[in-house]
């Protein structure tokens, strides 16, 4: 199925064709080392938080306009071409203990830095707008090669993003993320206990205690 961005540019979420050996090696890295997809871990964590009445966080749906459908049979339809109606903002949003949360989930195979090209200007603009309304914005960074996860605040992300032109730095060093971010230990229930980092972030910035359900 062919997807397109709002400006008509084709969307390709797959890499160029690879040999069977490369595909086998890549699958080994993705499934043997990383296990479940990072986004799926977050989704399951959100379901856990919801079941415990801790927070209501959902993945944002991306509006899609279908333009071509094939009907191989009367009881089946196959979407062949579609367009994203608008550029996406961030992946997740919701409410936790009276606070509005809005965040993005990103991953990299890099071991020493996180590429800023993983973000887009419209996402940074959205984060700035939410911060202006006193929302809590952040990104969950997953270093798949290291099996390490970090909470990195929206404020810091906006700062480093805006400094790209003056500093020429196109990535965030792991040392900066370790210093300014909050490492999250992957668990079982929830698998990505990111609300622990959110509580720590709120307490350090506002000096208030947060309910721990």
Annotated binding site: 89, 91, 104, 123
Beta partners for residue 171, in sequence order: 115
SS3 for 58? strand
CA proximity to 205, closest of 147, 139, 136, 158: 136
Q: Which residues are annotated as a binding site for Mg(2+)?
A: 89, 91, 104, 123
Residue among 116, 105, 174 nearest 145 (CA): 174
**For the chain, where are the E strands, in sequence order?**
2-4, 10-11, 56-59, 64-73, 76-84, 92-96, 99-108, 113-115, 136-143, 148-153, 171-173, 182-184
- Alpha-helical (H) ranges within 83-169 are 121-132, 154-162, 164-167
- Closest to 160 in 3D by CA, of 146, 175, 147: 175
């Amino acid at each position: 199925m062919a997807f397109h961005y709002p400006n008509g540019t084709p969307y390709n979420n797959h890499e160029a064709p690879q040999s069977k050996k490369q595909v086998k090696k890549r699958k080994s890295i993705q499934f043997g080392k990383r296990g479940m997809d990072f986004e799926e871990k977050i989704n399951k964590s959100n379901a856990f938080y919801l079941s415990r009445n801790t927070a209501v966080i959902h993945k944002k749906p991306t509006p899609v306009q279908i333009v071509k459908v094939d009907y191989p049979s009367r009881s089946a339809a196959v979407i062949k071409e579609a367009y994203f109606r608008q550029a996406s903002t961030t992946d997740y949003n919701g409410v936790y203990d009276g606070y509005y949360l809005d965040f993005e989930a990103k991953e990299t195979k890099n071991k020493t830095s996180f590429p800023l090209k993983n973000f887009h200007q419209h996402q940074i603009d959205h984060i700035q707008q939410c911060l202006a309304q006193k929302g809590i914005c952040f990104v969950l960074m997953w270093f798949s090669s290291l099996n390490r996860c970090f909470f990195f605040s929206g404020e810091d992300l906006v700062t480093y993003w805006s400094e790209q032109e003056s500093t020429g730095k196109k990535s965030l060093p792991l040392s900066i993320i370790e210093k300014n971010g909050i490492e999250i230990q992957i668990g079982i229930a929830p698998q990505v206990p990111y609300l622990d980092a959110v509580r720590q972030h709120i307490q350090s910035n506002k000096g208030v205690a947060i309910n721990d359900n």
